[in-house]
């Protein structure tokens, strides 16, 4: 039960209540008197939580989950057919070529060429593959090249400005997002590496998941107010550095009766000290996949 509670971001006592009141508990029996959650049980709980995040009452959400996946104890889970994978470039040839051209354009301080290379990478690969295969490696390489010196750092700054603009342009404005309540995506206070939240927001928008982005790091008290006023279905806090990843932030942003799923994303978070209701997301692709699944289910 503890692992299921962590996956859903709720307390074990909440799972026991849902089992007792609504019949949304484990259906598999072990050799002893204990019961174990099966995959179908977890699917029902995720459907219930998705309905809760859309504003349904607990009873309405439970009824919805049972109507969508009626209880048939012992029934094996039927997997949904996976979407066909996008064709990948052979041996990373395309990302490598684009990264080389982007780096050359940045070193030449050719703003027009940098903008064209970024647009080409984002259009050809998609936001997250372009980020991980082209943009981030070039930013990292240039940052290491000029670290500790003033001459040449202008290349890194120029590229950063162009990347911010390109990611914003790649974020479609959604007339009718698939989620009724937004995802609030923000950096922890004093975070310097803010660009990944722009990439994540662009990727979510590409999946028609509406997000409220705070790319500029907010003070903790302002972030808490922003969460309260936005009433998000989920909160994703990005931290690159361990020094700024304070797990107490999640307590501050989750006060009150508001229902929001809480996610920690980025290498700065220490999973050993995260609160039990906070789910750690390993990287940006995992974050986009998991947030989409929690809020709206399978991709469309």
Q: Is residue 142 part of a domain?
A: yes
Amino acid 34: pLDDT: 67
Mean pLDDT of 159-179: 95
pLDDT at 299 over 50: yes
Q: What does DSSP assign to residue 35? A: E
- What would the pLDDT profile of 57-112 be if each residue is shown by its tens digit? 888 888 888 888 887 755 444 333 333 344 444 546 788 889 988 988 888 888 99
Residues 142 and 103 in one domain: yes
DSSP per-residue letters across 191-256: -S--HHHHHHHHHHHHTT--EEEE-SPPPHHHHHHHHHHH--SEEEEE-SSGGG--THHHHHHT-S
- Residue 199: its pLDDT value, please? 98
Higher pLDDT, 80 or 221: 221
Report how many domains make up the chain.
Answer: 3
Same domain for 288 and 192, yes or no, is yes
pLDDT 10s digits, 119-144? 999 999 999 999 999 999 999 888 76
pLDDT per position as a tens digit, 269-297: 999 999 999 999 989 999 999 999 999 98
- Counting residues of the chain whose pLDDT is more than 70, the rounded percentage is 86
Give pLDDT, residue 87.
Answer: 44
Give CA–CA dist 139/178, Å, rounded. Answer: 33
Question: Confidence band (pLDDT; 50, 70, 90) for 147?
Answer: low
Reference 210, options 231, 183, 228; nearest CA is 183
- Per-chain mean pLDDT for the chain: 86
Same domain, 165 and 188: no
* Confidence (pLDDT) at 31: 56
pLDDT of residue 149: 52
* 121 inside domain: yes
- 218, 248: one domain: yes
State which of 141, 169, 197 marks the end of a domain. Answer: 169
pLDDT digits 0-9 by tens, 27-57:
776 655 667 888 888 989 988 888 887 777 8
- Single residue among 38, 68, 98 that ends a domain in this structure: 68
Same domain, 152 and 201: no
When pLDDT is averaged across residues 243-258 and rounded to a whole number, the result is 87
Mean pLDDT of 159-174: 96
Tell me which of 122, 147, 169 is where a domain ends: 169
Whether 157 and 191 share a structural domain: no
Alpha-carbon gap, residue 15 to 10, rounded angstroms? 8
CATH code of 123's domain: 1.10.1240.10
What is the span of the domain harbouring residue 109? 90-169
């Amino acid at each position: 039960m503890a692992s299921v509670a962590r996956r859903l971001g709720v307390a074990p006592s909440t799972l026991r209540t849902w089992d007792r009141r609504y019949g949304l508990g484990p259906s598999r029996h072990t050799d002893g008197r204990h019961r174990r959650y099966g995959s179908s049980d977890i699917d029902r709980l995720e459907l219930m939580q998705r309905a809760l995040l859309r504003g349904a009452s607990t009873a309405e959400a439970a009824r919805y989950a049972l109507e969508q996946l009626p209880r048939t104890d012992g029934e094996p889970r039927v997997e949904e057919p996976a979407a066909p994978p996008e064709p990948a470039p052979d041996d990373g040839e395309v990302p490598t070529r684009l990264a080389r051209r982007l780096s050359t354009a940045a070193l030449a301080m050719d703003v027009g060429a940098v903008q064209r290379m970024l647009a080409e990478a984002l259009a050809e690969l998609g936001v997250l593959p372009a980020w991980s295969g082209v943009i981030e490696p070039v930013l990292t390489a240039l940052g290491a090249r000029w670290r500790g010196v003033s001459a040449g750092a202008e290349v890194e700054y120029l590229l950063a400005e162009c990347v911010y603009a390109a990611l914003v342009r790649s974020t479609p404005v959604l007339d009718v997002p698939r989620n009724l309540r937004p995802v609030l995506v923000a950096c922890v206070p004093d975070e310097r590496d803010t660009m990944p939240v722009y990439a994540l927001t662009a990727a979510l928008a590409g999946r028609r998941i509406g997000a409220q982005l705070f790319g500029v790091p907010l003070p903790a008290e302002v972030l808490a107010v922003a969460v309260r006023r936005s009433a998000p279905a989920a909160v994703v806090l990005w931290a690159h550095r361990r020094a700024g990843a304070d797990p107490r932030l999640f307590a501050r942003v989750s006060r009150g009766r508001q229902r929001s799923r809480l996610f920690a994303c980025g290498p700065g978070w220490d999973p050993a000290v995260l609160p039990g209701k906070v789910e750690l997301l390993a990287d940006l692709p995992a974050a986009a996949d998991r947030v989409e699944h929690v809020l709206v289910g399978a991709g469309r």
